[in-house]
Structure 1
Amino acid sequence: MKEFPDPRGARPAARIQAPPAAFGIDGLIALAVGVTVVACLYFARAVLIPMTLAILLSFLVAPLANSLGRLKLGHVASVFAAVVMSISVIVMLGAVIATQLTDLAAGMPRYQATIEHKMEAAHSLTIGKLNRLAGAAGQALQRATIEPPQPQPPRDATSPANIHAPATMPVEVREPVPTPFELARRVLSPAISPLETAFIVFVVMVVILLQRDDLRDRAIRLFGSRDLHRTTTVMDEAARRLSRYFVSQLGVNAGVGVVIGAGLFLIGVPSPILWGILAALLRLVPYVGIWIAATLATALAAAVSPGWTMAMWSLALFGTVELLVGQVVEPLLYGRSTGLSPFSVVVAAIFWSWIWGPIGLILSTPLTLCLLVLGRHVRRLEFLDVLLGDQPALTPIENFYQRALAGDPDEAIEQAEALLRDRSLSAYYDEVAIKGLQLAANDVLRGSVTAAQLSRIEATTNDLVDGLDGYEDREPTPLAAEDDWSATRTVATSAVAEGASRALQIASAVNAEDARGGETDAPANRVLCIPGRGPLDPLATTILLQLLDKHGFVSRALPHEAASRASIETLDAEDVGIVCILYLQIDGIPSHLRYLVRRIRARLPNVSIVVGLWAAEDTEKWSIDLQSAMGAECYASSMQEMLAACRRIEAAKRDQRLAVVNE
């Protein structure tokens, strides 16, 4: 039987458990801790930003240092060589960007006439037209609401209005000429802070690369010495995901920059190398970075060319490259290794940019990735996995129960059809529907399900069973198995033809024996299903009836009251050979089930009894004790086991009857 893959790694399957407690002291403590963490991130950003940049850059430089270490350079020499190479690449890119910007600024006067002409055309088509419309509307409104002019009283020559004010004297404020020292300070002060941050980042990065093993051990001792396995798993997964993310993004962005630069060169946009580098760098900003570069390059193309063809080609180039990379290249290269949902990436970008500004926007994805790894391995932080991960928030069992509560059978059937592509019908019922009904039964017994919700659960489940009636209960046939079946069908046909006469003889003998009646048991393929006392046990009985019919059994169902002490004597079941009793949920070894089996045994001594129980504690010892206490032929814990038990009982009884016929 196929098992559902756990869609979220360490997240367990749905469990039947008590409802969570109300928001109490633990919730208040968690809220206070969260607020404190956010406040620390905001107020300590001057220290945390360089440290975070150094840690993340160490993940990017570490593969290069490891590669150099395999060349027998030594650990220290490998680290310093990797750092020097990284700094050289950064300096080279800065020099190229500065050169390209200088060339672009020198050529801007040549494009001034084109820019002014297009700005005038755009102004006349947009703002100018709006101004004309607004002016016409204002004149019409003025003509409709204007009042006749009022006569003005004559002015006296000695009135204050006719007395000229004395002429004002203009005043001009001039700043003192700055000294060379002040001029140098004004020019260099904006660059001092970034240079200090860069120096701190590289120093810390070198220390991390040199002492990474010792720092790892200290972190394990500090945060997880009592659970070394989980702590090691978290750190290894975080390092693996971050390294893979950074290296993959570096390669993809470099490729995007090369393609964009080459495409803009062919289109004729000035400084294509600059735009290729900017496209590669700005693509680190989620979703909007590449379009910032596209906007700037398209604006330059519009300024260079008298028409709009170059601008349209430039915009089409950016859109095509980003579409191919985002939808084809990245999924093929590293799939969904990050595991972040698109919504969480956007929200994380907003949050980290609010906390740390532009640096937070660039670092939002790797930082959120670290939180996702913690959420998948730390139970108290599991909500981070639910909020940030790209896996379904609900398991198929929970989704079935939620759709049943909402009264939406169409979505439940759609989910079932998707799952039936790689499993049988009975497997789907066992793995999803029955366990979902167990969740519902648990809530009903607690009193948290209203009568209207219970009616929706019953109606949705019945509609689901009716909607799946067209599916056969068999495992999906692989393509290879279909080919084998096509190859052996001719041979099998001859074997069937040879045994057909013998099968007809046996069937006629058995039917003749059944026609005599009274001398043997009732036919074993006739099954009577009786639900338990639970509120949703009849729904499980409906599912079993459908599966029995698909396996050639003649089945029917009676309510639980039909086997009560008051009604057992009038139970009309002389024609059945198997009685199936179903309980969705049961604890211990209840006496009412034992007495129910005894009543059925006394009323129908020749039938075989199969009891289906989906107990909370499904252990082997408990199953054996329960089966011996019940007195039934078989105990089953799934629909598939009940079907197998019915087939075994049918085969055994048929063999007995064939033995009687042969005698």
Structure 2
Amino acid sequence: MPEPARPPRRALAAGAAGPTLPLLQGAILLVAVLYFARELLIPLALAVLLAFVLAPLVRALRRIAVPRIAAVLLVVLATGALFIGLGTVVGSQATSLAENLPSYQTTISQKLAGLGGWFERLQGLVAEVSRQAAPHGPAAAPAGRPIPVELHSPDPTPFDMLRSVAEPLLGPLATAGIVVILLIFILLYREDLRDRLIRLAGAGDLHRTMAAMDDAAWRLSRFFLAQTAMNAGFGVVIGLALWGIGIPNPLLWGVVAAVMRFVPFIGTFVAVAGPLLLALAVDPGWGMLIAVAILFGVGEATMGQVFEPLVFGHSTGLSPIAVIAAASFWTWLWGPVGLLLAVPLTVCLVVLGRHVDRLEFLEVMLGDAPPLDPEETFYQRALAGDADALAEQAERCLREDKLAGYLDAVALPALVLAQEDVARGALAPERRAALTRSLGLLAEDLAEAEEDEERAPPPLPPGWEAPGTVLCLPGRGPFDAEAAMLLALLLTRRGFGVRLGGEVAEGVRPRLVCLCLMEGGGSAAAARYLLRRARRRLPGVPCLVLAWSAAGPGVLDAALRAESGAPPLLAHRLTELLERAAELAGPAPAEGEAEAPAAAEGPPGMAPAPA
């Protein structure tokens, strides 16, 4: 089943989540209900999550013409038989382990004695410290001879023995029975329950409700099926490897390793504790202990760094911090069962936040999507004056895209955000100065970055690399100068000899003028005036105008195209302007071909006045 489309990100405006006090009261009430009704909610949650795992099996049986009731009963009975079989094997293995424990004591004692009595000395030191810390020293011997007292309980009756055995089993058996019954009814009436949930969630907006339910079902089903299969395979590999190493009861530890991988963070440490202790008890040396430690270390690293990212990707939609917080919260709320259910229950909360406006804060806090878009992150780092963070972001982006694409997608949209703040009067002068300094430092870092030889563009014809060959002029918008600086950086990296500003280099007549304007920054009249002045000061020199706009042609484009005389060469993105500039320069001559004559140089000093 293809992954559901992700809904567009909504702006999280102030007060969009509603009043804070009612929301806090609702959260406290919800936590109280989850805690006091856990005896009912835990079986229900287990049944629902098992239904996500078993529903594909029921659908597979239905596709081969098995009746619904028969398919559900077959799947539930097979699952129950699997759990009973595993329980029987684990019980027999645990009994065998308990019978052999006394024989392991000798090996452990010998191995500890081989450490030179370190543990005995530590124990004596602790006893001495405890004795010295006693407030009144050693207790005085009693004056009289103590009278021994013995307490005898009556022999248990058969009913008492039956009750002592049955009482610890009644709770888990009752919970298991409730889970089985709920599971059968959920699988039988899955479509009916889905329709009722749609009715409760809002039949008036079927599209959003269905999108939310499909998103939750897809993520949970994918997560549980993949995790169950991978953990089972991990348990099989660990069991076989422990058998090869020589650890007793390898089947028991393989099952424990598979189950403990459902527990985030601490499951692996719990699973490895038993094999390590047995390796310490069975092997007179240390080789088996080291082999077990290496086995679990390599196995966990392989699962966590190779197979899980390959299979899961971002299917759960949770951030690592959210997993830690969820594990702590649900363990406090529901105990060990809550630890097992922490991830799937938190996935449901993230899905709710993704599709319910008032609960969007849940997706922001718990989801794995970046809280800010790349251009918002760029703007925030630039305002803070964090040039190092800007350089790190640029390095990450340039691994996947070219410099022009990065500037078009991240840097210039960030300047648009700054323009909007200037228009609203919300950008303080010191913040604006910090932004300008950060962009200057970033431009220096990008100018020194090494070029990828595989993505290097073809060389330009001779003569275009002389400083001042391309004159880059900013417009009159609040951040046109910064945009022109980035444009000059891009042209320089392409091989052009660029001069930024209105002065012409001594002895060099510009071959190309690039006028840099940003949509929404300056007026259309100012843009037309700057174009006319550039043409008047440098007649005959082609003028290439960057009317940058992320949304395509805008007001500046229409105004410049309506300019009298020859319409200018227009580009709306840096990538487009770079291509047009390379076309104007022409291809580099082949080896042995005569170079084209340089353009006639005019008198120096013929430059437009500073914009």
Question: What TM-score, normalized by structure 2, do the two folds share?
Answer: 0.79
- Give the drift of 1:626: 4.0
Q: Cα deviation per residue 1:383-411 (whole Å; 9 max; x = unaligned)?
A: 33333333444332223223322323344
Report if aligned partners of 1:237, 1:373 keep a CA contact under 8 Å in 2.
yes
Whole-angstrom CA distance in 1 between matches of 2:454 and 2:370: 24
Q: Tell me the distance in 1 between the aligned counterparts of 2:177 and 2:202.
A: 32
Residue 51 of structure 1: aligned partner: 44
Aligned to 1:107: 100
State the Cα deviation string for residues 289-329 of structure 1 (Å, max 9, x = none).
12212102221332334444433333332223222222223
Query: What's the counterpart of residue 7 of structure 2?
Result: 10
Counterpart residue type for residue 163 of structure 2:
R
User: Given the alignment of the two structures, is residue 584 of structure 1 paired with residue 562 of structure 2, yes or no?
Assistant: no
Q: Which amino acid aligns with 2:574?
A: M
Aligned-pair identity in percent equals: 42
- Specify which of 193, 197, 201 is matched with residue 179 of structure 2: 201
Deviation (angstroms), 1:379: 4.1
Aligned counterparts, 1:67-216, within 5 A:
67-117=60-110, 124-126=117-119, 128-129=121-122, 131-132=124-125, 135=128, 175=153, 178-216=156-194
Provide the rounded CA distance (Å) in 1 between the counterparts of 2:404 and 2:434.
23
The CA distance in 2 between the partners of 1:256 and 1:647, in whole Å, is 56
How many residue pairs align between the two structures? 570
**Whole-Å Cα distance in 2 between the matches of residues 554 and 271 of structure 1?**
75
**Cα deviation code 1:415-450 (max 9, x no counterpart):** 324323443332222111111122233334444444
Equivalent residues of 1:425, 1:473 under 8 A apart = no
Q: CA deviation at 1:189?
A: 1.6
CA contact (8 A) 2:18 2:358 kept: no
Question: Deviation string for 1:85-134 (max 9, x for gaps)?
Answer: 00011111111122122222222232343345556777941463364488
One-letter amino acid matched to 2:416: Q
- 3-state SS of paired residue (2:248): coil
Matched, 1:294 2:272: yes
In 1: Cα distance, 2:434 partner to 2:237 partner: 56
Q: Which has the higher helix share?
A: 1
Measure, in 1, the Cα distance between the counterparts of 2:89 and 2:487: 73
C-alpha separation between the residues in 2 aligned to 1:603 and 1:261? Answer: 82
Aligned-residue offset at 1:83: 0.4
What is the match of residue 35 of structure 2? Answer: 42
Which amino acid is 1:10 matched to? Answer: P
Matched, 1:639 2:574: yes
The CA deviation at 1:52 is 0.7
Deviation of 1:461 (Å) = 1.0
Q: 1:544 aligns with which of 487, 490, 510?
A: 487
Name 2:418's counterpart in structure 1: 440
The answer to whether the 8 Å contact 2:404/2:490 transfers is: yes
* Contact residue 517 and residue 527 of structure 2 kept, 8 A: no
From 201, 204, 207, the counterpart of 1:223: 201
Q: Is the 8 A contact 1:283 1:289 kept in 2?
A: yes
Contact 1:528/1:557, CA 8 A, preserved across alignment = yes
Any idea what the Cα deviations from partners look like across 1:535-570, whole Å, max 9, x if unmatched? Answer: 3221112122334456676654447xx9xxxxxxxx
SS at match of 1:433: helix
Q: CA deviation at 1:202?
A: 0.8
2:341 maps to which residue?
363
Paired residue secondary structure (2:71): helix
Pick from 410, 413, 420: which aligns with 2:391?
413
Q: Are 2:514 and 2:546, in contact at CA under 8 Å, matched by a contact in 1? A: yes
Q: 1:57: Cα distance to partner?
A: 0.3
Residues 285 and 362 in structure 1, CA contact (< 8 A), matched pair in contact too: yes
User: For residue 592 of structure 2, what is the aligned residue in structure 1?
Assistant: none
> Aligned to 1:340, what secondary structure does the other structure show?
coil
Deviation at 1:591, TM superposition (A): 5.4
Shift of 1:534: 3.6
C-alpha separation in 2, matches of 1:448 and 1:123: 72
Matching of residues 307-386 of structure 1 within 5 Å: 307-386=285-364
Question: C-alpha distance in 2, partners of 1:435/1:638?
Answer: 11
Q: Deviation of residue 78 (structure 1)?
A: 0.6
- Relative distance call for 1:168 and 1:472 in structure 2 (3 A) is closer
Residue type at the aligned position of 2:107:
T
Kept in 2, the 8 Å contact 1:425–1:472? The answer is no
Structure 2's unaligned 5+ residue stretches are 135-142, 587-596, 601-611
Is the aligned partner of 1:462 residue 2:440?
A: yes
Does the aligned pair in 2 maintain the 1:585–1:614 contact within 8 Å?
yes
Q: Which amino acid aligns with 1:637?
A: H
Q: Is the 8 A contact 2:552 2:572 kept in 1?
A: no
Alignment check: 8 A CA contact 1:423 1:475 kept: no
User: What does 1:425-574 align with in structure 2 at a 5 Å threshold?
Assistant: 425-469=403-447, 477=455, 529-549=472-492, 556-558=499-501
Alpha carbons of structure 1 residues 452 and 622: separation in structure 2 relative to 1, 3 Å: closer
CA contact (8 A) 1:341 1:389 kept: yes
3-state DSSP of counterpart to 1:468: helix
Is the Cα contact below 8 Å between 2:480 and 2:521 reproduced in 1?
no
Per-residue deviation, residues 442-487 of structure 1 (Å, max 9, x unmatched) = 3344444443332221122122223323679999749xxx9xx9xx
CA displacement at 1:33 relative to structure 2? 3.1
User: In 2, distance between residues paired with 1:220 and 1:399?
Assistant: 37
Asked if 1:278 corresponds to 2:212, the answer is: no
SS of residue in 1 equivalent to 2:199:
helix
| Bigger mean CA offset, 364-373 vs 409-418 | 409-418
**Cα gap change, 1:600 to 1:263, in 2 (>3 Å):** closer
Q: Is the 8 A contact 2:524 2:559 kept in 1?
A: no
Residue in 2 that maps onto 1:234: 212
Check the 8 A contact 2:231/2:258 in 1, yes or no. yes
2:591 corresponds in structure 1 to none
Which AA in structure 1 matches 2:240? A
Q: Offset of 1:9 from its aligned partner?
A: 4.2
Identify the range of structure 1 (47-56 vs 633-642) with the bigger mean alpha-carbon deviation: 633-642
Equivalent residue letter for 1:78: A
Preserved contact between residue 424 and residue 476 of structure 1 (Cα < 8 Å): no
8 Å CA contact retained: 1:353, 1:361: yes
Alignment partners' CA distance in 1, 2:425 and 2:53:
55
Tell me the residue number matched to 1:258: 236
Q: Please name the residue that 1:489 is paired with.
A: none
RMSD: 4.4
1:645/1:475 Cα in 2 relative to 1: closer, same or farther (>3 Å)?
Answer: farther
Q: Equivalents in 1 of 2:272, 2:513: separation in Å?
A: 72
C-alpha change, 1:60 and 1:539, in structure 2 (3 Å) is same
Q: TM-score, with normalisation over the residues of structure 1?
A: 0.73
Q: Contact 2:527/2:560 (CA < 8 Å) preserved in 1?
A: no
| More off after superposition, 46-55 vs 626-635 | 626-635
The one-letter code of the counterpart of 1:192 is L
> Any conservation in 2 of the 1:589–1:626 contact (CA below 8 Å)?
no
Task: Find the aligned partners of 2:150 and 2:236 in 1 and give their Cα distance.
Answer: 54
Question: Which structure has the larger Rg over C-alpha atoms?
Answer: 1
Cα pair 2:327 2:343 within 8 Å, conserved: yes
Closer/same/farther in 2, CA of residues 320 and 588 from structure 1, 3 Å limit: closer
CA distance in 2, matches of 1:647, 1:456: 34
Q: Could you say what secondary structure the match of 1:467 adopts?
A: helix
Q: Deviations over 1:161-180 (max 9, x none)?
A: xxx99x99877665555544
1:77, CA displacement in angstroms? 0.7
Aligned residues of 2:475 and 2:515 also touching (Cα < 8 A): yes
Deviation at 1:58, TM superposition (A): 0.6
